[in-house]
Amino acid sequence: MRLLEPLQLGASTATNRLVFGPHVTNLAADDRSLPGRWVSYHAARAAGGAGLVVTEGASVHDSDWPYERAPLAARCADGWAELARRCHDAGSLLIAGLDHAGGQGSSAYSQRELWAPSRVPEVNSREVPKWMEGDDVEAVIAGFAAAAALAREAGCDGVEVNAGQHSLIRQFVSGLTNQRGDEWGTDRTLLARRVITDVRSRVGANGVVGLRLSCDELAPWAGITPEMAPAIAAELSGCGLDYLVVTRGSIFSIEKTRPDFHEPTGFNIDVCRAVRDAVTAAGLVTKVILQGSIVDTGQAEWAVGDGVCDAVEMTRAQIADPQLVAKLGAGTPERIRPCTRCNQTCQVRDARNPIVTCVGEPSSGRETEDPDWYVPTRSPREVVVVGGGPAGLEAARVAATRGHRVRVVEQAASLGGVAAVAGPGAPLVEWLIAECATAGVVLETGSRYDGSADLAPGTIVIQATGGRSGDRPYAVDPDADAVVDIAELRAGAASLPAAGPVVIFDPIGGPIGIAIAAELGDRAVLVTQDNIAGNELSRTGDLAPANVRLAQAGVRIERRSLLRVAGAGHVTIEDKYTAEQRDIECVAMVDCGFRLPTEPIAGAALRVGDCVAPRTILEAILEGRRAAVAVDRA
């Protein structure tokens, strides 16, 4: 298998061609140093077999403080040193990510001006940065060189310089953000060349130097384009790069750098192939690494084998399953926990300032806090899990893995609950079902739990019956047309008329209402109480793309609107601010509103997931694990 073959990077050799790449974790300390939890998070991927571990980008100069717990290179030596030891013990190379966010940073934490090549406002905050003086540019170059030397002294095998998203270096390379008339503007790659050259001199001949390069800013009127990228990549590779990672995105397309499941996987394949061809034609030994929503090892293997790249970055996939490489090496790729590309908890640059984790693997980011869920039990018990959604399946999987005898009872004809039919969770549900079967769980569908009378003494019952339709905050006329619950629609228990307008009532502003509206296209009238459709999608980076999809599909959006009546041939909405009411014609309405817990089951020792309080897959999985461990104490 080509993915598992060694990869030569200068004087160093990675044991395989799978990379755990740099990303924001928010695991650093308040003083911007690297504590044990940050080290353990990255080390878990090395222990899982990653050939190359590239750390979260550290700011190389104190003018840069892009998010609250952004590492500062000058304070990273101890964390880098401990992680280097653990990576090397596991057989992985450790590369320190080096960065300066420039005009895409924030002044909220540093309380000083942003630095950038030109006075182009930051897209999100609208803040106008400072036009960097020559001394500022030289200070940043020196910062990269000093950080590289510090990383090597700490034991890192090399460094990766960021010229991708949130990068000052990319801002100098791009015509979108570099409008200077001096040497730093007339020669836009000058800063990148200077940084690479100086970093190379400090890393030394035996160290690894990598570059993360945006090869498509998705702004062809002035930005870096796929047609320009091969020549830029070859030029910069010639300055002493051992590898180059092909990425995309700019100030106007942050959400396209690491998009969610709406974007096809492998979106950088074509430009990556062109970059590799250009580097090879120039006679350079720089290895080219593919990045871009690669979450399937089959696609990664194809890309290496077909000459697209020399290695593949599978970061989100290894957040979802730290043991991905080990499972691939063991010949069991089907047991790799899938990444659903939901971006719900692994993308952490938002107002909540959370730490990185994964809905399917909640212990990601909590390596120093969570227990070992799989320690064998000393007292195996009979366990009945009532409900076969994600919470119930995870409780069953972990309990059975620990040695309990587990049976799942699900009244529906299929397992997975709402997660199996709505949103991107179906692959995770399928994995959970397969893993339960492997662990010996008895799975009963179409079976109603009728109490504990026939249970063996000492049997533990875990309730995981999910949620139900919530109370309707609107009146329903007796002659009203179909009012359909979204869960029943997705499960196939209800349907919509084949023609005519359909109102989508979405008081939550999440992905489910947006999805059904986009599918219905110009038939859909989306009613939202917010000022923008899909308000909560800002957390996953899908807010702007979702509204683009709605516009392209022809969906009509009624903003700032409260639903008051579902009537015959119409619904009545009320303006949130003026209280003005008006009718909207429709043949049906889909209720995508809040849900409530199902009623408690008598005799259940433990309750997990939406039957406690309707929330997300993350809470369902986490509570399922906790219940599996609690069986010993119940």
**Comparing C-alpha atoms, which of 455, 467, 465 is closest to residue 603?**
455
Residue 583 sits at φ, ψ, to 5 deg, of: -100, 145
Closest CA to 619 of 336, 359, 380, 240: 359
The answer to whether the beta carbons of residues 595 and 469 sit under 8 Å apart is: yes
Strand 243-247 and strand 287-290: the pairing is parallel
Which residues fall within 8 angstroms of residue 321, CB to CB, at 6 or more apart? 48, 327, 336, 337, 338, 339, 361
Two tokens at 37? 């939890």
CB-CB contact of 432 with 334 (8 Å):
no
The maximal CA–CA distance of the chain, rounded, in angstroms, is 84
DSSP state of 95: E
Q: For position 590, what pLDDT does the model report?
A: 97
Q: Rounded to whole angstroms, what are the CA distances from 58 to 28, 69, 499, 558?
A: 10, 10, 55, 44
Tokens of 393: 């399946």
Tokens of 160: 């990766």
Tokens of 272: 């990556």
pLDDT at 453: 65
User: Which residue carries 């509204």 as its tokens?
Assistant: 547
Alpha carbon of residue 513 to chain centroid: 21
What are the pLDDT digits (tens) for 96-132? 999 999 999 999 999 999 999 999 999 888 999 999 9
Give the contacts of 119 (CB within 8 A, at least 6 positions apart): 128, 129, 130, 131
What is the distance of C-alpha 493 from the center of its chain? 32
Strands, E, within 348-459: which ranges? 382-386, 405-410, 442-445
Query: Within 13 A of 593's CA, how many CA atoms are on the CB side?
Result: 19
What whole-number distance in Å separates Cα of residue 388 and Cα of residue 97? 42
CB 118 within 8 A of CB 180: yes
Cα–Cα distance, 164 to 99 (Å, whole number)? 10
Query: In sequence order, which residues have a C-beta less than 8 Å from that of residue 368 and are 6 or more positions away?
Result: 36, 37, 40
CA–CA separation, 403 and 374 (whole Å): 9
Q: Which domains, ranges and CATH numbers included, belong to the chain? A: 2-335 (3.20.20.70), 382-468+596-633 (3.40.50.720), 471-593 (3.50.50.60)
The pLDDT of residue 451 is: 80
Rounded to an integer, what distance in angstroms lies between the CA atom of residue 612 and that of residue 626?
14
Q: For the purposes of burial, counting CB atoms within 10 Å of the CB of 371, is it exposed (0-12), middle (13-18) or buried (19 or more)?
A: exposed
Closest of 32, 55, 36, 81 to residue 369, by C-alpha = 36
The token duo for 31 is 């003083």
Which DSSP category does 337 fall into?
P
- Calculate the CA 452 to chain-centre distance: 41
Low-confidence ranges of the chain (pLDDT < 70): 453
Report the C-alpha gap between 111 and 118 in whole angstroms.
Answer: 20
Residues in the chain: 634
What residues does 382 pair with on adjacent strands?
A: 405
- How far apart, in whole angstroms, are the C-alpha atoms of residue 431 and residue 334? 8
Measuring CA to CA, how many Å separate 618 from each of 307, 401, 486, 570, 615? 37, 20, 21, 37, 8
- For residue 429, count CB atoms less than 10 angstroms from its CB and return exposed for 0-12, middle for 13-18, buried for 19 or more: buried
| Residue 634: predicted pLDDT | 87
Contact yes or no for 21/54 (Cβ under 8 A): yes
Cβ neighbour number for residue 107 with a 10 Å cutoff: 15
The amino acid present at 116, given as its one-letter code, is: A
Beta-strand ranges (E) seen in 363-477 are 382-386, 405-410, 442-445, 460-463, 467-469, 475-476
Phi-psi map region of 621: left, alpha, beta (phi>0 left; psi -120 to 50 alpha): alpha
Structure tokens at 266: 């492998």
CA distances from 94 to 103, 311, 407 (A): 28, 15, 44
276, 307 in Cβ contact below 8 A?
yes
Q: Which pLDDT value is given to residue 209?
A: 98
SS3 512: helix
